[in-house]
Chain A
């Protein structure tokens, strides 16, 4: 098991955002997570990625308990996340956004920067090549040298994914990757995610665009009011009466 989430609870004041969530993502799996607004999906991502501390419960990644590790420590283990609202480094170019994400740079330390200029220069060449690979893979070539703040919403989503790819991820949590993205680009993105998955990268994807998502993931979980309401193949889950009620907002 790559990611094991066990009985996570989190309350904000009197509001129980997460009410005992248990969920697993196997090695290299593609898993979808859907649910109405306010169901707790993004809160769950924040707990798993270490931005929010859960009240109780446990998150294990590659078998080890993540405990109270920082978001940065989790990312270094290969557990990456993107944000629902893109958080690009808006003054940096697309290429520099990607290069900033590359791990283990000697030139990011002041000592290394001034004492080992040769090594820094060599790494820059490698990192640039890697960034250019990601740029080509995500078809961001035409905007590679633009400040990322000037990209369209969809391009920013691609960039978010691209930065995560620079870190050598084994599991990426994607928060609404298709929201605000035009239909043509969604097709691209679906294709890219499939290719990455074929290379062994796992995905847990929050998405409202069920059409795109159900074509992509073999396993779907539905959240409502801080709990997992149903799990299974997209076909099974979407036929579930409980799910239909949660989505149609039937008077409970």
Chain B
């Protein structure tokens, strides 16, 4: 049970990193990024491939973060000239393109067979649960640093201007500032975070295949921030934790309702989350954390 909880905590924190990136992009800047998983995948594959070739994990993690961030740059330059809804489609297309590329380029990614036996973090610590705790500790520190960094950013002049862009882009232009410049930076930053999350994921799961990087991952992150409250750093954390509790906790529904089969269970889970999203948009559109911390 303890190992199970640690495992869930690790996955939850990886999702918190993803949610923080999306919160910066959508919650604060209004960028509708439907391709978040693409940057997650780039981070995971970059770090995994480099580590398989002997690069120390510290460097492969950094590379995963940077490559994912840089991948957002051209997307930003092209797509930010589009209207919001087109931008959403372009990013969704981008993440699916990433998945097709890692599926097809077997020489690099081993295609659908995926990359097995990715080096673990703390491989030196042989005791299984201790190593997991160490991973959890590192991830926790990284997440806290990310949260503090985000907090600093959103309360800064940079945070002020990206919120202004979200509220009215034309007015920002009329005041002599170029929204595209800020949006590209936000896109790179959020995608870098997704890449870092991807690196943690790859080296924790130790086996990645293209099918782990489907759009559903992006939408899980969206669900998390909608439940938590989109314009709040705390919303990203609370929403993600709640989503994980729901996703994982629903496993235990079968203990009380054994008549539900495994296949049905997957549907029940999504049904529960779907219902929750509907209830939230009707009764608490600002999310759980919305308004509490309103400045």
A residues adjacent to B (C-beta < 8 A): 49, 51, 70-73, 75-76, 80-83, 87-93, 96-97, 99-101, 103, 105-110, 113-114, 120, 123-124, 127, 147, 163-164, 166-167
Q: In the complex, what's the smallest C-beta–C-beta distance from B204 to chain A, in angstroms?
A: 29
* Residue in contact with B176 in the complex, picked from A75, A88, A93, A99, CB distance below 8 Å: A75
Residues of A within 8 A of B172 (CB): 72, 100
A89 CA to B165 CA, complexed, in Å:
8
B185 at the interface (CB under 8 A from A): yes
Q: In the complex, what's the smallest C-beta–C-beta distance from B207 to chain A, in angstroms?
A: 35
Binds A, one of B35-43, B58-66, B153-161, B241-249: B153-161
* Residue in contact with A110 in the complex, picked from B163, B168, B189, B294, CB distance below 8 Å: B189
A114 CA to B185 CA, complexed, in Å:
14
A72 CA to B178 CA, complexed, in Å:
6
Contact A92–B158 (Cβ < 8 Å): no
- Taken residue by residue from 148 to 176, chain B's Cβ proximity to chain A (1 for < 8 Å, 0 otherwise) reads as 00001100111011011011101111111
Contact A71–B168 (Cβ < 8 Å): no
* Residue in contact with A70 in the complex, picked from B152, B167, B173, B294, CB distance below 8 Å: B173
Contact A113–B171 (Cβ < 8 Å): no
* 11 A–B contacts from the bound complex (CB under 8 Å): A70-B173, A71-B173, A87-B168, A88-B171, A90-B167, A96-B160, A99-B157, A105-B157, A108-B177, A108-B182, A110-B185
A167-B158 contact given A91-B163, A91-B167, CB 8 Å threshold: no
* Residue in contact with B174 in the complex, picked from A80, A96, A113, A124, CB distance below 8 Å: A80
B residues adjacent to A (C-beta < 8 A): 152-153, 156-158, 160-161, 163-164, 166-168, 170-178, 182, 185, 189, 231, 294-295
A49-B174 contact given A92-B164, A107-B157, CB 8 Å threshold: yes
A83-B170 contact given A93-B295, A108-B161, A124-B157, CB 8 Å threshold: yes
Contact B170–A87 (Cβ < 8 Å): yes
A108 CA to B231 CA, complexed, in Å:
19
A165 CA to B176 CA, complexed, in Å:
12
Known: A72-B173, A76-B176. 9 other contacts (CB 8 A): A82-B174, A89-B167, A90-B168, A100-B175, A103-B176, A107-B157, A107-B158, A108-B177, A113-B152
Residues of A within 8 A of B231 (CB): 91
Contact A81–B157 (Cβ < 8 Å): no
* Identity of the chain B residue whose Cβ is nearest the Cβ of A101 in the assembled complex: B175
Q: In the complex, what's the smallest C-beta–C-beta distance from B46 to chain A, in angstroms?
A: 22
Residues of A within 8 A of B189 (CB): 110
A121 CA to B166 CA, complexed, in Å:
24
Q: Considering the complex of A and B, which 6 residue pairs feature the smallest CB-CB distances, nearest first?
A: A75-B176, A107-B157, A87-B171, A89-B167, A71-B173, A76-B176
Contact B167–A92 (Cβ < 8 Å): yes
Residues of A within 8 A of B164 (CB): 89, 92, 97, 100
Contact B160–A92 (Cβ < 8 Å): yes
Residues of A within 8 A of B160 (CB): 92, 96, 99-100
